[in-house]
Amino acid sequence: MKKNLLNPNFGWLLLLFLFFIAANPASAQKKKNKKGKKAQVEAPAKPKPPKKDKKTIKGLTKASKKIEGLFTLYQDTTNGSIQMLINKEQLDREYIYFSQIADGVVDVFSFRGAYRGSKIFKIEKYYDKIEFVAQNNSSYFDADNAIAKAAHANISEGVMASEKILAYDTTSGNYLIAANNLFLKETFMQVKPPRFPNQSPSAFSLGTLSKDKTKVRGIRNYPANTDLKIEYVYSKPSVLNSGSRGVTDGRNVSIKVYHSLIQVPENDYQPRIDDPRAGFFTTQVTDMTSMSPTPYRDLVHRWHLKKKDPDATISEPVEPITWWIENTTPHEIRPIIRQAGLRWNEAFEKAGFKNAVVIKEQPDDATWDAGDIRYNVLRWTASPNPVFGGYGPSFVNPRTGQILGADIMLEYGSLKGNLLNEKIFDEALLETYLQNGENEKAFMEHDPAYCTAGQMAKLNNMFGLTALSVLGGSELDKSKMIKEFLHFLILHEMGHTLGLNHNMKASQFHGLKDINNQEVTEKVGLIGSVMDYPAVNFASDRENQGLYWTTRPGPYDHWVIEFGYKPVKSPDELQPILNRSTRPELVFGNDADDMRSPGKAIDPRVNVNDMTHDAVEYAVERMKLAKKVSKELLKKYQKPNQSYHELRNAYLVVTSQQAGAANIISRYIGGVYVDRAFVGQQGGTKPFTPVELEKQKKAMKALNDFVFSPEAFTVPSALYSHLQMQRRGYNFISRPEDPKIHARILNIQRTVLRHLLHYNTLQRITDSEMYGNAYSLSSFMSDLNQGIFKSDIYGNVGSIRRNLQVEYTQVLINMLTGSQKTRFNHLAKSMALYNLKRIRKMAGSATGNTATRAHKEHLKTLIDNALDEV
Ligand SMILES: [Zn+2]
């Protein structure tokens, strides 16, 4: 509308614009000059042609400091700019590029020690330029096959940089190029994350890379690697979201990155080809000349271990995998870290190596730091907003899979009884539990070592410590639990650096009978592999407590190391090892197979936070324990002269365990066991076997009893009136501080419903009825309907149940009319409709108090409106 032109804001803008023009005559003049034929001001004098000696390397580097190494660098002593020498011997040769974050902000997933992967590049000369070209290593061609001549068809290499040659020295064969563009821009790697399509406009984001503020922070040059530390500064004039506590000024954010240019190792390392039954990180390579239906030559990531004495059954390696405990590590935990890390040597003995892992301590006066890729360092950080509890990345030669370096990052916060990240805590194992699945998926795509074992284990450990406090555990018990937790965390993260990915099936190793038999578990481990995310093992019967956390690599770990590291003359020698994969103690399933997110994956044995091969019963026990603990919380957490903050934390921790257990149980309904044994392999079953009827029924009953029933979450009402956070500044400004009791309980129930009534689950139930599933869709959905309504719909329905019943009815309606209705098959929709009509009928009774009658009117209206739309 025209009127708007006259509004005060517009007037202000106009005034501001006029002021700008008045205050900047030069800028107005400049614009004019551009358009005018000739500027009135005198043109700058043409630069004189450089003197001849300036064209020499010596002349051009006169004011620079020379730093010799794999690629000799010159840094200008007046302005810090850098130049680089490339020798003609280095042209057309392959090198490895690797980068890691020296320090960043977790808001953009850049944190100290984050690895950004490695790639192969070549240096090529094109007339007067030197080019850096990333190489593709995803294909393999058998050189004897003529098709190998077409190896480069439709493969795009990446020309990362093209720099003019500034000078050439014929005697040494050296070319000099400017190197600022190589390192002070995002030439070798993308530092700033892209804006994701579904990212909120108010999400924290970086400004544009500032040329003036970005600088070289350090150069380390060695014969086999050239490393630079660069501080990238991203600036923007104003911010809506100024970031978390770690960001000092949201307008100017620094991310410090190490770039390493590395000589390709020349050695007799033999690549090992991956097998789907063993869980290694890999570099995927496709054999383009093979006729196999699975032409995979995926390279296992592993260290170059070679026996000192090749003929001995067991020998020390020529070069062990050496770890350094960073000098930032608290002294009291160093012995535990050493002991835990060295336990990996037991696994290497199966592969024929003694003392494969060596652990040393970084002296306080060491002249190197953890960013130095020549050292593998066990590091500790205390971040303002931790994104992990532990992280064990490694980097490899992409041509062979040989691991060239690794670090382990551990968060000091993992050891503490609080959580600095209040958001994670508040939603612990509810929203975050779901999101983690999604985030991990996204994050793992560019960093497969991303790991939340520390976070998950910490939440579990906090439950264990709470349960100990309530049930009268001693200080000795508590310190045992923390020590074992640390053992587990170190073993897990170190496992990643040996090349192992997660094995979320490994907690199925023992049954209920042995899980607390310490004589057994001390010897073989509490779980089949330390690469799982298990629940804390807490015995309800306090007389019978075994290990809380595993303290040594399990049988799967021994086996997988044997497969990955045993020196062999031919791959056939690995077959007998692989043939053992069907043994129950060697079960394996990784992150892609685990069922932590609703609707994801199919085998309920592959999951996080579970324990034993009777995981449903174990989870039921945990539900009972959680309930017992929550009844006592108020009594135990009244600490004189303290706020109720710790009590509130304890309540959240306990309900998180209930949420975790509910999810474990729900996955058995409609679950299908997966067996990846090869045809004819001894001990192998069918690839897909539906979960037994009794187990599914038992799971359904457990959900009805411990998640949906009117009594499922009852606690003494006095507890609710004490769930108070301690005030800090204005921390209640964004939402009121009263406990959100109904919302929290409904969240737990909703998470379970999201899985049970997920279109993937429902489709699998009907499909698996065709190959052995005896718990039919109609039985399952009827049992669920009964569980949610039967016990109270004709009497007075309590508020928690009313909330659940409306939620559930809405989920059924959404199957028929919601935005995702096309994803549900007709069979599932028929059952949804059938159940809605049954609910409509039950809600037709005019019994109960006013609240109940209002509730039933609500249900009827929802259903009537929905049925009109179907
Ligand atoms: Zn992990």
pLDDT digits (tens, 9 = 90+) for 262-278: 999 999 999 999 999 99
Residue 52 has what DSSP assignment? G
DSSP alpha helix (H) spans, 757-843: 759-768, 777-789, 799-817, 826-842
Looking at the fold, whether 651 and 741 belong to one and the same domain comes out as yes
CA of 130 to the centre of ligand 1 (A): 41
Looking at the fold, whether 242 and 375 belong to one and the same domain comes out as no
CA of 453 to the centre of ligand 1 (A): 5
- Residue finishing a domain among 735, 754, 775: 775
**What is the C-alpha to C-alpha distance for residues 411 and 452, in angstroms, rounded to an integer?**
11
Looking at the fold, whether 492 and 561 belong to one and the same domain comes out as yes
CA of 505 to the centre of ligand 1 (A): 13
Mean pLDDT of 821-833: 97
pLDDT above 50: residue 449: yes
Give the 3-state secondary structure of residue 230.
Answer: strand
Q: Which one has a higher pLDDT value, 596 or 4? A: 596
pLDDT above 60: residue 257: yes
Residue 368 has what DSSP assignment? -
Domain-embedded: residue 279 = no
Confidence (pLDDT) at 764 = 98
CA of 428 to the centre of ligand 1 (A): 18
Cα 174–chain centre separation: 44
Domain interval for residue 132: 57-263
pLDDT above 60: residue 720: yes
Domain-embedded: residue 193 = yes
Looking at the fold, whether 537 and 632 belong to one and the same domain comes out as yes
Amino acid code (one letter) for 380: W
Look up residue 79 and give its two tokens: 């302005």
Task: Yes or no: say if 637 and 644 are a contact pair by the CB < 8 Å rule.
Answer: yes
Amino acid code (one letter) for 466: T
**What is the C-alpha to C-alpha distance for residues 716 and 208, in angstroms, rounded to an integer?**
55
CA of 105 to the centre of ligand 1 (A): 21
Give the 3-state secondary structure of residue 548.
Answer: coil
Residue 18 binned pLDDT confidence (cut-offs 50, 70, 90): very low
Amino acid code (one letter) for 815: M
In the block, tokens 């700058």 appear at: 44
Give percent of the chain above pLDDT 70. 89
Domain-embedded: residue 223 = yes
Of the candidate ranges 85-94, 188-197, 356-365, the one whose mean pLDDT is the lowest = 188-197
Q: What are phi and psi of 660, to 5 degrees?
A: -60, -45
Looking at the fold, whether 416 and 483 belong to one and the same domain comes out as yes
Mean pLDDT of 333-350: 95
Of the candidate ranges 374-383, 520-529, 554-563, 611-620, the one whose mean pLDDT is the lowest = 374-383
Residue 43 binned pLDDT confidence (cut-offs 50, 70, 90): low
Task: Yes or no: say if 305 and 321 are a contact pair by the CB < 8 Å rule.
Answer: yes
CA of 364 to the centre of ligand 1 (A): 29
Look up residue 703 and give its two tokens: 């959900």
Task: Yes or no: say if 552 and 529 are a contact pair by the CB < 8 Å rule.
Answer: no
What average pLDDT does the chain have?
A: 88
Taking CA atoms, 812 is separated from 63, 398, 756, 817, 865, in Å, by 75, 49, 11, 9, 13
CA of 472 to the centre of ligand 1 (A): 32
Domain-embedded: residue 861 = no
Residue 45 binned pLDDT confidence (cut-offs 50, 70, 90): low
Confidence (pLDDT) at 455 = 80
Q: Render pLDDT for 351-409 as a digit per residue (tens, 0 to 9).
A: 999 999 999 999 999 998 887 888 999 887 766 655 566 678 889 999 999 999 998 88
Task: Yes or no: say if 780 and 791 are a contact pair by the CB < 8 Å rule.
Answer: no
**What is the C-alpha to C-alpha distance for residues 120 and 261, in angstroms, rounded to an integer?**
10
**What is the C-alpha to C-alpha distance for residues 845 and 342, in angstroms, rounded to an integer?**
68
Mean pLDDT of 45-64: 75
**What is the C-alpha to C-alpha distance for residues 64 and 739, in angstroms, rounded to an integer?**
64
Domain-embedded: residue 826 = no
Give the 3-state secondary structure of residue 186.
Answer: coil
Instruction: Report, in angstroms and rounded to the nearest whole number, the Rg of the chain calculated over CA atoms.
Output: 32
Q: Render pLDDT for 665-689 as a digit per residue (tens, 0 to 9).
A: 999 999 999 999 999 999 999 999 9
Confidence (pLDDT) at 488 = 94
- Among 151-160, 199-208, 770-779, 844-853, the range with the most confident prediction by mean pLDDT is 770-779
Domain-embedded: residue 102 = yes
Give the 3-state secondary structure of residue 766.
Answer: helix
In 311-449, beta strands by DSSP E: 321-325, 357-361, 376-381, 390-391, 394-396, 403-411
Domain-embedded: residue 595 = yes
- Residue finishing a domain among 217, 248, 263: 263
CA of 243 to the centre of ligand 1 (A): 27
Name the packing angle between helices 741-756 and 431-446 (round to 10°): 50
pLDDT above 50: residue 719: yes
**What is the C-alpha to C-alpha distance for residues 188 and 186, in angstroms, rounded to an integer?**
6
**What is the C-alpha to C-alpha distance for residues 520 and 49, in angstroms, rounded to an integer?**
83
Looking at the fold, whether 259 and 361 belong to one and the same domain comes out as no
CA of 815 to the centre of ligand 1 (A): 36
Task: Yes or no: say if 235 and 252 are a contact pair by the CB < 8 Å rule.
Answer: yes
In the block, tokens 């002296």 appear at: 363
Domain-embedded: residue 275 = no
Closest CA to 92 of 131, 119, 129: 131
Task: Yes or no: say if 740 and 724 are a contact pair by the CB < 8 Å rule.
Answer: no
Looking at the fold, whether 333 and 196 belong to one and the same domain comes out as no
Closest CA to 505 of 582, 579, 610: 610
Longest dimension (CA), the chain: 103
pLDDT above 80: residue 429: no
* pTM tops 0.95, yes or no: no
CA of 495 to the centre of ligand 1 (A): 8
Residue 505 binned pLDDT confidence (cut-offs 50, 70, 90): very high
Of the candidate ranges 196-205, 347-356, 552-561, 682-691, the one whose mean pLDDT is the lowest = 196-205
Beta-carbon count within 10 A of 254 CB: 19
CA of 593 to the centre of ligand 1 (A): 15
CA of 515 to the centre of ligand 1 (A): 22
pLDDT above 50: residue 29: no
CA of 461 to the centre of ligand 1 (A): 16
Taking CA atoms, 667 is separated from 143, 391, 444, 759, in Å, by 48, 28, 23, 14
Of the candidate ranges 21-25, 217-221, 740-744, 835-839, the one whose mean pLDDT is the lowest = 21-25
Looking at the fold, whether 573 and 705 belong to one and the same domain comes out as yes
Residue 328 has what DSSP assignment? T
Confidence (pLDDT) at 154 = 82
Residue 793 binned pLDDT confidence (cut-offs 50, 70, 90): very high
pLDDT above 90: residue 44: no
Looking at the fold, whether 258 and 326 belong to one and the same domain comes out as no
CA of 610 to the centre of ligand 1 (A): 15
Work out whether strand 403-411 and strand 394-396 pair parallel, antiparallel, or are unpaired.
antiparallel
Query: Residues whose CB is under 5 A from ligand 1 (ion)?
Result: 451, 453
Cα 463–chain centre separation: 22
Closest CA to 779 of 685, 862, 694, 688: 694
CA of 145 to the centre of ligand 1 (A): 41
Half-sphere exposure of 805 (CA within 13 A, CB side): 32
- Residue finishing a domain among 738, 753, 775: 775
Confidence (pLDDT) at 415 = 67
CA of 648 to the centre of ligand 1 (A): 29
> Which residues, 6 or more positions from 596, have their beta carbon under 8 angstroms from its beta carbon?
433, 436, 437, 607, 608, 609, 663
Residue 414 binned pLDDT confidence (cut-offs 50, 70, 90): low
CA of 543 to the centre of ligand 1 (A): 32
CA of 450 to the centre of ligand 1 (A): 7
Task: Yes or no: say if 626 and 786 are a contact pair by the CB < 8 Å rule.
Answer: no
Confidence (pLDDT) at 746 = 93
Looking at the fold, whether 153 and 69 belong to one and the same domain comes out as yes
Instruction: State how many domains the chain has.
Output: 2
Cα 369–chain centre separation: 26
Mean pLDDT of 188-201: 84
Taking CA atoms, 684 is separated from 100, 294, 320, 673, in Å, by 42, 20, 36, 12
Closest CA to 676 of 603, 598, 577: 603
Work out whether strand 672-674 and strand 688-690 pair parallel, antiparallel, or are unpaired.
antiparallel
> Which residues, 6 or more positions from 757, have their beta carbon under 8 angstroms from its beta carbon?
811, 812, 815
Taking CA atoms, 668 is separated from 616, 662, 663, 693, 796, in Å, by 8, 11, 9, 10, 32
Closest CA to 110 of 387, 389, 376, 438: 387
Taking CA atoms, 511 is separated from 526, 560, 620, 825, in Å, by 10, 22, 14, 37
In 158-268, beta strands by DSSP E: 158-169, 174-178, 208-209, 215-221, 225-235, 252-263
Looking at the fold, whether 362 and 214 belong to one and the same domain comes out as no
Looking at the fold, whether 564 and 677 belong to one and the same domain comes out as yes
